[in-house]
């Protein structure tokens, strides 16, 4: 059975927001907050669905929105993170790293500017911290794999050992994203059920690496649950 649509289309307005609608939404949220987006338009007297109100607020009206051109630093962060995360678990996560920027804005900026530059090879030397740490010519990455016992050729055994994973094909066969290279730092190991778990070494590598660590953990769990 099909889900009921998020909003009743009949009588609800679509398309660009008018300044009057913006003002109504801002005033309402400033007075009452936005606890329930679905109920908000009715309470505020707007002929919009809750989703539309939420999007308008988050992407345009929020007071902490930063508008204007992206800085070089912001570009670098987007490119680096996109390399790691890809489109699929990325824009919102990247947005958390760029205060005042929205996922929609970052997504648009990627598709209209950065994607072309990356495709043209203008940013090909941009590496994430793991790649930088390993060096571009590194033979592989080291992981603690107590239960898997996978050697560099991909063969399995019951032996608990540190494993050097030599190439991307092995990673892809095991459905592990390349960022598993964090294991190079000794910050990752896996438990008996095959789930990646943390040890405490990542706490010593600073805020930036903490961020990348969390990024890895999220990415890994998403990548392995399928």
Partner DNA sequence: AATTTAGGCAACCGCCTGATG
Partner DNA sequence: GCATCAGGCGGTTGCCTAAAT
Q: Which residues bind DNA (CB under 7 A)?
A: 1, 3-4, 6, 13-17, 35-38, 48, 50-52, 54-56, 59-60, 87-93, 103-105, 107-109, 111-113
Using DSSP's 3-state secondary structure scheme, residue 129 falls into: helix
Could you tell me the smallest distance in angstroms from the CB atom of residue 220 to DNA? 14
Rounded to a whole number of angstroms, the distance between the first and last alpha carbons of the chain is 24
Could you tell me the smallest distance in angstroms from the CB atom of residue 211 to DNA? 16
Q: How far is it, in rounded angstroms, from Cα 196 to Cα 167? A: 19
**3-state DSSP helix/strand/coil percent for the chain, to nearest 5?**
50, 10, 40
Could you tell me the smallest distance in angstroms from the CB atom of residue 221 to DNA? 9
Task: Select 66 or 174, whichever has its Cβ closest to DNA.
Answer: 66
Task: Select 35 or 135, whichever has its Cβ closest to DNA.
Answer: 35
* Alpha carbons within 13 A on the beta-carbon side of 164: 6
Find, among 167, 225, 155, the residue nearest to 193 by Cα: 225
Task: Select 52 or 190, whichever has its Cβ closest to DNA.
Answer: 52
Could you tell me the smallest distance in angstroms from the CB atom of residue 94 to DNA? 8
Residues 65/100, Cβ–Cβ less than 8 Å: yes
Task: Select 132 or 195, whichever has its Cβ closest to DNA.
Answer: 195
């Amino acid at each position: 059975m099909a889900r009921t649509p998020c909003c009743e289309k009949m009588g609800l307005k679509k398309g660009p927001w008018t300044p009057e609608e913006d003002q109504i939404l801002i005033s309402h949220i400033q007075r009452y907050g936005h606890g329930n987006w679905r109920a908000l338009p009715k309470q505020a007297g707007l002929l919009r669905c809750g989703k539309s109100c939420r999007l308008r607020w988050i992407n345009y009206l929020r007071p902490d929105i930063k508008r204007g051109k992206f800085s070089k630093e912001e570009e670098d962060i987007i490119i680096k993170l996109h390399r790691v995360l890809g489109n699929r678990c990325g824009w919102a996560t990247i947005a958390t790293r760029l205060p005042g920027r929205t996922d929609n804005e970052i997504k648009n900026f990627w598709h209209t500017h950065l994607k072309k530059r990356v495709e043209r090879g203008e940013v090909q030397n941009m590496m994430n911290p793991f790649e930088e740490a390993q060096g571009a010519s590194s033979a592989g990455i080291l992981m603690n794999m107590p239960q898997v016992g996978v050697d560099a050729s991909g063969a399995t055994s019951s032996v608990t050992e540190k494993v050097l994973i030599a190439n991307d094909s092995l990673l892809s066969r095991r459905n592990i994203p390349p960022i598993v290279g964090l294991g190079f730092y000794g910050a990752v190991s896996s438990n008996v059920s095959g789930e990646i778990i943390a040890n405490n070494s990542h706490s010593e590598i600073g805020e930036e690496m903490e961020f990348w660590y969390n990024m890895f953990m999220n990415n890994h769990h998403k990548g392995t649950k399928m």
